[in-house]
Amino acid sequence: MSPVVTLEGGDVSSDASPPSASPRRSGRRRAWIAVLAALAVLVLLRPLVFETYTVPSRSMSPTLSPGDRIVVTKNGELERGDLVVFVADEAFYDQHPDRGTLQRIGDFLGIRPNERVYVKRVIGLPGERLTVDEAGTLRIDDVVVQEPYLAPGVLASTTPLRIRVPPGRYFVMGDNRPASDDSRNHLGDPGGGSVRAADVIGEVVWRYWPKSGWGSVDDE
C-alpha cells in the first residue's frame, strides 16, 4: 500500500503573516517526503522487478538450504544452469487454474496462495535434446555437460532419460538429485514435465539470509 503523506495547515488571518519554517525543519520535511516517495515507488515496482521467497526443502542442496531467503528477478533470458522459481501446477500436476481478475492481481502483487511454487535449476533449454545414460552422464545435443554444483558422488540422474525439450519450455532439476521432485518425475505428463516459459516467475540471483550465505547465487 502506498504511504499517504498528510500536510497539515490552518487558516491565516489577513493581518498577520504566517511564521516561516526554519531551513533545518524544511529540509527535514523534504527528506522525509523523499524517503516516503521512494518507498512508495519501491512498493509499486517490486512485483514487476523482483520477488522474495524462502526455500522450503533440501531439493536444491548444497546450493540452497531450507530456510534460505532468496531474491528472484524478472528480467533477462534464461540460460542453462540458471536457478529459477516457477509455478508447477501445469508442468507437474496438469492443473490449469482459472486465472481471473483476482488471480492476475495476485500475480502482480506476488501473492500466489493456491499455487505450487518450486525452485529448480534449468538443465534443458527449448528445443534441446537431453539424454542421461545408464552411467548417469548428462548430455545436451550429444555434448557431455559438467555440473560442478552437484555434491561429490551425485550423478546427473539415476534414471536414464531421452527427451527433446518442447518449444517454449524448460527441463528443470534440483541439485539434490536423489531428493528432488522435478522434470524427471513427470516425464509422462503433458509437456514431458517441462516448465512453460509463462510459468517461470523469475531467476534466483541473490540470497539475503542467513548472513553466512549472503551473496549472489549466479555462479554456484
Secondary structure (3-state) at 171: strand
Question: Would you call 212 a catalytic residue per the annotation?
Answer: no
Which of the following is catalytic: 61, 120, 180, 194? 120
HSE of 189, CA atoms in CB hemisphere, 13 A: 18
Question: Would you call 22 a catalytic residue per the annotation?
Answer: no
Burial status of residue 126 (CB atoms within 10 A of its CB: 0-12, 13-18, 19 or more): middle
Which of the following is catalytic: 13, 22, 26, 59? 59
Helix extents (H) in 135-217: none
Type of residue found at 67: G
Angstrom distance (rounded) from CA 192 to CA 195? 9
Angstrom distance (rounded) from CA 14 to CA 210? 61
Distant-in-sequence contacts of 139-147, Cβ < 8 A, 24+ apart: 140/80, 145/80
Name the pairing type of β-strands 195-196 and 169-173.
antiparallel
Catalytic residues: 59, 120
